[in-house]
Amino acid sequence: MLKKYSSVIVALILIAFFAVSLIVSLQESTTMDEKAHIPSAYSYVKYNDMRLNPEHPPLLKDLAGLPLLFFNPRFPADDPLWTEGVNEQWELGDKFIHSNDADQITFWSRLPITLIALLLGFFIFKWTKELAGAAAGIFALILYAFDPNILGHSHYVTTDIGIAAFIFISFYYFIKFLKYPSWKNTILAGIFLGLAELAKFSSVILFPFFGLILVIYALAKRSKPPKTPLGNLSEYMGKYVLIVFICFAVIWILYFYNTFNMPAEKIQDIANTVFGNEGMGELAKSTVIGMSTMPVLKYLSEYFLGVFMVFTRVAGGNTYYFLGTVSNHATPFYFPVVFLLKETLPFLFLILAASVYAFAEMIKKALSARLKENWKKFLGYLQSGVAQYSMLGFIIFYSFLSITGNLNIGFRHLFPILPFVYVLVAKKVTDFIKSCEGKKIKTTVKATLAILVAWIILEPIIFFPSYLSYFNELAGGPKNGYKYVTDSNYDWGQDLKRLSRWVDKYNSCALSKNPEVCIDPNRAIPIKPNQPIKKIRVDYFGGSNPEYYLKDKFIPWHSYNNPEPGWYAISIGFLQESIHKEKQPGEKSYEWLRGYQPITKAGDSIFVYYVE
């Protein structure tokens, strides 16, 4: 039955995913990173110039910028920040977004990212179906489409969903090339590898990883007519060189489109500003400047500028709040803990169960026959199971790089491995059900799985629309997630529009005839009759502008100010970092707020206080 109606079921799931993503997108304000990505997106497609945000490739921003061309928004192209500045993405972002209709600009630039999220969902279903059948494909799609973390980022103009999508699709066509190394599959593998590199610079890890998988597969392959392992390897290596060549041709084409109006002097200015004069900094600077002076290589110089900027960024680390401490030195516990707290409990259970089953099967097969027979079976699996061991290998490899890296800035940085986890879990659960002997056991397993699937589907319904700030029940849900970690895990500036709406509703209630029950009886917010909020001090972390939404009610505020009577709205990221960081004697902070309970929260991330 599932096989017969699989297309309809997939369509309904993707339609629901698309609708929820659009609804949440309309509700949320511009997030922190979008403040840089959105103006960059428009400037790329409007002016073919990448002087803004060169530390990310242009593909996703090109797509995000295309809808904005239909509105012809005002862009500060005559501003000295644009004409003379060096990568002034934050200030220009504020001017561009808020000198136009900010909600319109943000919503329409987000739409292509949601479409990419839909494309990823389709490929997750497609590949899982090919590996394990239609039912497994639908199961994998449910794991993806009803993951609150995916829904939380499915509409942001950032690289997180895009890199997950294009790495996954690139894997799909590369594995297809390994199994059937035709010229068509070689070209497709090269094109999609290029698109992955154009989504985010961290995709450079695909070059060595694909090379390693290719060597293993070629040496283990049993060809017809028979070939020696070295014969297989030479054929595959030759075509892999062509794949890499096609990849860089795709990169060159898109960078040509995005930079042919960009003066080489601007590339050199950025390189001189961001790179030092010693060691790797000097090498990066000389390489980029040297390439920028050559007509053909100028367009690739911008690509390598971005690659070197990313390595510099990673080496520098970032300041983050995690489990009661504030640090700019990464900890290996960050990503494992965040994963356990932010993924849904039924999905975590399924990962554990699938892992135990896979390990048990591996041990069972290893002990079931003699060494020589096992070796032949192992070589056969390296050929037939190339998709599974490639996915597992990438999950381990990418997780290791994330855990040992120097950037702890959010669960979103694990998104590239999630599609592979969805596929492998669906595959192993399906295999386990097929291996069950006895009708009663199989019925029990299916009933348990049905309960878990229902739980997975209910999670985004129960916690709507708290998807960015989602934490599982073990962590106390979205209301308590900020106690463990902030930044893009919880507070990215998404709730400023909700703060504005709350202030308007509070003021309406304060002037109403029945203010006590006007807002939300469940939150028991004390309303001061005939005393609307005329001014509110705001310390906001995000990409929106509080003055744009709050107008003359807005008073800029920071933790170093002395407390004054009145209303306060403070982003929880700033609050946690201010309270928990190590402070010098006499240093101002939000310690004085420890004695206050918030009146309410705008969304989840902006805490509202009233000081008598």
Q: What confidence tens digit (pLDDT) does each residue in 357-383 have?
A: 998 887 777 666 555 566 566 666 666
Q: In DSSP terms, which residues pair with 539 in a beta bridge?
A: 570
Q: Write b or e for each residue in 441-471: b if 16 or more Cβ atoms lie within 10 A of its Cβ, otherwise e.
A: eeeeeeeebeebbebbeebbeebebbbbbbb
Beta bridge partners of 322: 325, 485
The DSSP line for 40-109 is: HHHHHHHH----S-TTS-SHHHHHHHGGGGGT-----TTSHHHHT-SS-HHHHHHHHHHTS-HHHHHHHH
Q: Are residues 304 and 355 in the same domain?
A: no
| Residues facing 46 on adjacent strands | none
Q: β-strands 566-571, 536-539: how paired? A: parallel
- Taking residues 439-464, what's their average pLDDT? 95
Structural domain contains residue 165: no
Environment class of 348 (CB within 10 Å of its CB; exposed 0-12, middle 13-18, buried 19+): middle
Average of per-residue pLDDT across 67-95: 94
Q: Contact, 292 vs 298, CB < 8 A? A: yes
Phi, psi of 372 (to 5 degrees): -65, -45
**Which stretch of DSSP H or E encloses residue 446?**
helix 439-462
Long-range own/partner contacts, residues 33-36 (CB < 8 A, 24 or more apart): 33/156, 33/157, 33/158, 33/488, 33/492, 33/543, 34/106, 34/109, 34/156, 34/157, 34/158, 34/543, 35/89, 35/90, 35/93, 35/94, 35/97, 35/542, 35/543, 35/544, 36/89, 36/90, 36/93, 36/543
If asked whether residues 381 and 290 sit together in one domain, one would say no
Q: Which residue has the higher pLDDT, 593 or 27?
A: 27
Its domain, for residue 291, covers 263-316
How many domains, in total, are found in the chain?
3
Same domain? 389 vs 377: yes
Kindly report the pTM of this predicted structure.
0.94
Query: Which pLDDT does position 408 carry in this prediction?
Result: 86
Angle (CA) 279-283-286 rounded to 5° is 140
* Pairing of the two strands 600-602 and 606-611: antiparallel
Whether residue 306 is found in the same domain as residue 357: no
- In the chain, count H helices and then E strands: 24, 7
Residue 436: predicted pLDDT = 87
For the record, the structure tokens of 239 come out as 């075509």
Is 391 part of a structural domain of the chain? yes
pLDDT of residue 312: 78
Count other Cβ atoms within 10 Å, centred on residue 3: 12
227-239 average pLDDT score? 87
| Inter-axis angle of helices 345-367 and 371-384, nearest 10 | 140
Q: What's the confidence (pLDDT) of residue 250?
A: 97
611: β partners = 566
- Range in 119-133, 163-177, 221-235 the model is least confident about: 221-235
Length of the chain: 612
Q: DSSP string covering 404-417, please?
A: HSS----GGGGGGG
Summarize pLDDT for 43-67 with one digit per residue, the tens.
Answer: 999 999 999 999 999 999 999 999 9
Q: Does the residue 203 lie in any domain?
A: no
Report how far residue 579's alpha carbon sits from residue 591's, in angstroms, rounded to the nearest whole number.
Answer: 6
Decide if 415 is inside a domain.
yes
Q: How many CA atoms lie within 13 A of 604 on its CB side?
A: 26
Residue 12 counted as domain residue: yes
**Does one domain contain both 391 and 324?**
yes
Same domain, 427 and 407: yes
State whether 325 and 277 are in the same domain: no
* The pairing of beta strand 600-602 with beta strand 320-322: unpaired
Do 150 and 3 reside in the same domain of the chain? yes
- Please state, rounded to an integer, the average pLDDT across all residues of the chain: 91
Same structural domain, 289 and 353: no
460 with 507, same domain? Answer: no
Residue 514 in any domain: the answer is yes
CA distance 501 to 516: 18
Residue 194, in any domain of the structure: no
* 206 strand-pairing partners: none
Residue 327 sits in the same domain as residue 371: yes
Question: Which of 429, 453, 469 is the last residue in one of the domains?
Answer: 469
Percent of the chain with pLDDT over 90: 69
* Residue 231 counted as domain residue: no
Map 150-179 to HEC letters.
HHHHCCCCCCHHHHHHHHHHHHHHHHHHHH
**534 plus 447 within the same structural domain:** no
pLDDT digits (tens, 9 = 90+) for 389-438: 999 999 999 999 999 888 888 999 999 999 999 999 999 999 999 988 88
